[in-house]
Chain A
């Protein structure tokens, strides 16, 4: 009994050109698109090390086409020679960067806290605020997504002026919280409704209050979803330009506003623009590489039911 009983048929074992062709096509598509995605980032990062002639000649590869110079970093006062010296440019840049960090982190955190609470409540209890039931309340929150920022922009300009919140970080934080909260609620409601209610029932029987059960039992389970919601909020708030351009002028400017304000001038110094843009995109690139799993999870939350 040496003969194999189960084996691939000859047709399966034969060389199949169409199969290899399909593979090759898939990889070709993927590689082309990866190139399209990555090249602008590569271009920005390298341009910050190019001198004017290198930019003009369109040199691409460092050390081969051109000798990298610390021009971009020097223009921000961050190159090795200038890092210990006093620098007004650096102070300016760090102030904007710090504004962006604070505004993005605070508004995402605030949206996460308010949004998770609301999402939990909506996924667990039966509410009735006059005519509004759960579905209506959910719709009320989610419908904020449709609201275009431009509708709120001018009224807020006037209101903030009256409230002395114009050009403050708190004003921006409040507005950004509002814009990302529907997304947080959407992701978190999904997350909470996938957690069985028996968990809370057990916790309540053991003597925890409902808030105790929420904080000590449910939140740790929903942590991946919270991370996803937080990162998505972070991406949106870090990149926000429209409100920041309208509502801030000197104190609370964020990084995108600083980048945009440099583009208009006639003699653009390419390396410093590139360095600024790199600073604006690098933090999120790092986040994307390290936490890619959560971002994808967050965005997929609404898609699959």
Chain B
């Protein structure tokens, strides 16, 4: 984003790489790759019962992978000299991510089309599209997806509150540091602790302070997690409580980057505060706002901890997010295959939705200037 072509370092170095060094580099890369293949193959045969060498775990393959990864990095330097040293910056991170994401994802695709109960002795059974059919007929999964839409829509309200708070913090006030720290604190707290602190104790119907307050205000016999709408709202509110600081800080940073002259010029021209906000602040804040909202959506789609700990999806699945639903699906039936399929469908939906959103955001941001 920030770095343009002109920012790159251009280094020309004369590397004298001998033929022997190149040969050695190639040898260690290919030898370690061969080692990895052989170990993997032997282990696979061992699990299939073709040979029996008594491996208890797949650790040897993991170690072979680590050896191959280090040899690949070292080999880059041997083969390409200075250029290899440069690729050494990115290579470890790339190998790590590939090993931790791409490989498990491929593995997940395999699991997703099988019936695999981890506690049953039969092990994994390929069952084709059965999981898909089961998902299609599973009202709770669709309900969880629908809930996610509601939870995501709540971001609009969070954004409005965060913007208001950022404006207030950006005004000429005293004790700004105190307010900033106080506002930041909810973000630092563990969602599990929050769900106990607020969800289980402050909203406790008999003696929780919030229940007291609500009763003082004249509502009686309310239950915070009784009706589906109320429960969903409480979850939204708690999640908002933890994440509003995040949006607020991003917006505040944006506000502080707006040059003062613009406001002064508008004031001289006689614009009222209201018009100054809509004609200057808001349009200028649009890129920051969109970034903040997009990141917030990404975090919102992972929402689970609070739901798992407070309502466990209840009443009747009204508060389930996809993540908490799959979590319970696994906890209750320990069916890895079905849960994985649901997760992968979710991932596909997210990727599609985020791509559309980012394209739209791009279009919205452009013509303003």
Contacts and interface: CB of A to CB of B under 8 A. Distances in A.
B125 interface: no
Contacts of B169: 30
Contacts of A140: 94, 97
Contact of B86 (A151, A155, A210): A210
Given A43-B202, A147-B347, A277-B196, A296 B82 contact: no
Interface string A104-138: 00000000001101101111111101000010010
B132 interface: no
Given A29-B164, A40-B202, A241-B192, A157 B336 contact: yes
Nearest to A296: B249
B339 A154 contact: yes
Given A148-B343, A150-B346, A155-B111, A125 B89 contact: yes
Nearest to B337: A154
Interface residues of B, number: 106
Interface in B170-219: 171, 173, 177-198, 200-202, 206-209, 212
Nearest to A100: B190
Interface in B1-41: 1-3, 7-9, 11
B201 A295 contact: no
Nearest to B342: A150
Given A41-B185, A242-B327, A292-B184, A300 B249 contact: yes
A181 interface: yes
A5 interface: no
Contact of B185 (A242, A246, A288): A288
A146 B253 CA distance: 23
A149 interface: yes
Contact of A26 (B2, B107, B171, B185): B171
Interface stretch (A8-16, A68-76, A87-95, A256-264): A256-264
Interface in B316-361: 322-323, 326-327, 330, 336, 339-340, 343-344, 346-347, 350-351, 354
Given A56-B206, A58-B209, A197-B7, A37 B183 contact: yes
B250 A163 contact: no
A242 B323 contact: yes
A125 B87 CA distance: 9
B147 interface: no
A85 interface: no
Interface in A52-100: 55-58, 60
A191 to B, nearest CB: 10
Given A211-B85, A270-B201, A26 B305 contact: no
Interface string B233-258: 00000000100011001111110010
Nearest to A45: B197
Interface of B: 1-3, 7-9, 11, 56-59, 62, 82, 85-90, 92-94, 96-97, 100-101, 104-105, 107-108, 111, 116, 118, 164-165, 168-169, 171, 173, 177-198, 200-202, 206-209, 212, 241, 245-246, 249-254, 257, 287-288, 291-292, 295, 298, 301-302, 304-305, 308-309, 322-323, 326-327, 330, 336, 339-340, 343-344, 346-347, 350-351, 354
Given A29-B168, A149-B323, 18 more contacts: A37-B241, A55-B207, A146-B301, A153-B330, A158-B107, A164-B57, A178-B100, A190-B2, A210-B82, A241-B304, A256-B190, A256-B305, A259-B190, A259-B192, A263-B196, A263-B309, A281-B190, A288-B184
